């Protein structure tokens, strides 16, 4: 019996989870949970990384207090956001949130210096204004003073790993999310960075997942009441860890990491860098054991989360179960929205944004809470179908089933809508896929598990999954035609 500690930070919440691996069976126990979200300052929207660092240490302390004696610990987070460190390792400024408006219009400016096709050929990453590349380019365009004194670039999990271990690293899977990494040369795209006036000297060696980088710093161990714990680099991009935990028997499956974002993809062994991948705006992010995640980011449950937040701010604190019940009782196929429309990217009055989109496109306008959420969920399922068709074309595979993992698996209505819309079996679980994948990669790094196939067998032995079979296709083809006209 071996124990591990997974620190899993998402865009909405974070958690510390103690995992016990006994033979081929894994059990998880959440010992600490905390909220996460943007903080608005006069200069823009930031992450409160110092508070998050305090919560990480509280999570370690809670694990020890629960009686755990973890052999290893590892952190995973959302992608693209970053910090800069000076030559003494001090953080320069508070990291920006990827939804900050400093990147509005910046993508087109970058294309004037390096053409879109060339950026894709060198990075293979889906174009979104939130990408690290465009955040850095916005700093270069604004002549940020930080570049003059910065010594090291670190993504968010790399920052916390540095504070945990004292070692500055750039983990592979998170590095590939930045649109600054070249999957052909297996190194940073130095020439492109310099052309965009982003100092390439900031980018250090890339370290593969499954690497033990050291022990927990003595001062952190003392503060949290822990002993010597190995700090492990796992797939520190949360989606990378989640895909490790897909309970698949073979590789001809599609996966959706469902949460604030729905990231839909397939597991491949070579990145897709051709004209169609560029035209379809797909992304190639690094996985484990030589795999790549050919995938596409979809706005996901962000629309529903923002609706709930808006209603709560105005005195109606509805839980997700109640919101989903209202949606299940609402009229189907009232209207279709494109979840990835620019209108929905920034925080705000999401119910009104959805109504505004429907009105502007000449559709019926949802009025009730159930109708608004139903439109959002059906539109998300339609986006899954649209993405699946292109994913199969690029991968050359017929992908079945669709594995949905992560917190979004709790939305049973969306799971069934996805099965009905795509005509594929949907298999959901595990819910805590990211933490599970985090732990399994620790076990591989520390010699307890030998391979990805063995890790996925542990997932199948340890967690229940639920299957959703396709039902009636009535109405979906007409709705899909509407989405095609909108997208």
477: annotated active-site residue:
no
Q: Are 351 and 304 in contact (CB under 8 A)?
A: no
Running DSSP on this structure, what letter comes out for residue 77?
Answer: B
The secondary structure of 6-46 as a DSSP string is EEEE-SSEEEEEEEEEETTEEEEEEEEEEE--EEEETTEEE
Look up residue 302 and give its two tokens. 């962000």
Rounded Cα distance, 339 and 302, in Å:
9
Look up residue 482 and give its two tokens. 């509407």
In degrees, rounded to 5, the angle at the alpha carbon of residue 323 between the alpha carbons of residues 318 and 328 is 160
Q: Residues 6 or more apart from 297 whose CB is under 8 A from it?
A: 126, 128, 261, 262, 263, 283
Rounded Cα distance, 177 and 319, in Å:
32
Q: Are 74 and 82 in contact (CB under 8 A)?
A: no
Q: Which residues pair with 9 in a beta bridge?
A: 14
- Single out the residue of 444, 301, 439 nearest to residue 17, CA to CA: 439
**Residue tagged active-site, from 238, 338, 340, 420:** 238
Positions marked catalytic: 238
């Amino acid at each position: 019996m071996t124990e591990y500690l997974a620190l899993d930070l998402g865009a909405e919440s974070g958690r510390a989870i103690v995992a016990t691996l006994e033979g081929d069976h894994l059990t998880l126990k959440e010992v600490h949970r905390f909220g996460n979200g943007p903080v608005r300052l006069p200069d823009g929207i930031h992450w409160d990384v110092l508070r998050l660092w305090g919560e990480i240490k509280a999570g370690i302390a809670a694990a020890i207090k629960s009686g755990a004696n973890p052999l290893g610990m590892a952190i995973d987070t959302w992608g693209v956001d970053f910090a800069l460190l000076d030559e003494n390792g001090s953080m320069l400024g508070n990291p920006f949130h990827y939804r900050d408006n400093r990147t509005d219009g910046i993508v087109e400016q970058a294309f004037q210096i390096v053409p879109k096709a060339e950026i894709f050929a060198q990075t293979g990453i889906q174009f979104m204004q939130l990408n690290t590349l465009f955040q850095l380019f916005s700093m270069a365009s604004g002549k940020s003073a930080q570049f003059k004194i910065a010594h090291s670039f670190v993504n968010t999990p790399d920052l916390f790993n540095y504070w945990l271990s004292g070692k500055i690293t750039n983990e592979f899977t998170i590095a590939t999310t930045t649109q600054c990494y070249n999957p052909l040369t297996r190194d940073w795209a130095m020439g492109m960075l310099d052309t965009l006036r982003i100092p390439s000297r900031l980018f250090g060696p890339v370290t593969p997942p499954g690497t033990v980088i050291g022990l927990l710093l003595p001062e952190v161990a003392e503060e949290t009441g822990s002993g010597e714990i190995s700090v492990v680099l796992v797939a520190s991009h949360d989606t990378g860890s989640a895909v490790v935990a897909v309970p698949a028997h073979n590789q001809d499956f599609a996966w959706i990491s469902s949460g604030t974002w729905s990231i839909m993809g397939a597991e491949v062994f070579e990145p897709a860098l051709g004209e169609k991948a560029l035209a379809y705006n797909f992304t190639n992010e690094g996985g484990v054991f030589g795999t790549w995640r050919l995938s596409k980011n979809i706005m996901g449950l962000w629309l529903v989360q923002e609706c709930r937040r808006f209603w709560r701010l105005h005195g109606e604190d509805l839980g997700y179960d109640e919101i989903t019940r209202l949606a299940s009782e609402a009229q189907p196929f009232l209207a279709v929205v494109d979840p990835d429309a620019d209108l929905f990217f920034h925080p705000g009055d999401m119910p009104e944004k959805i109504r505004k989109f429907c009105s502007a496109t000449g559709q019926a306008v949802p009025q009730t809470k159930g109708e608004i959420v139903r439109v959002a969920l059906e539109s998300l399922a339609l986006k899954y179908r649209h993405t699946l068709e292109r994913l199969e074309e690029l991968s050359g595979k017929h992908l079945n089933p669709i594995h949905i993992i992560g917190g979004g698996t709790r939305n049973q209505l969306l799971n069934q809508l996805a099965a009905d819309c795509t005509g594929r079996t949907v298999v959901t679980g595990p819910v805590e896929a990211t933490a599970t994948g985090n732990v399994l990669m620790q076990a591989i790094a520390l010699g307890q598990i030998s391979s990805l196939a063995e890790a996925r067998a542990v997932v199948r032995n340890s967690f229940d999954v639920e299957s959703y079979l396709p039902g009636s296709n009535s109405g979906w083809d007409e709705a899909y035609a509407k989405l095609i006209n909108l997208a």
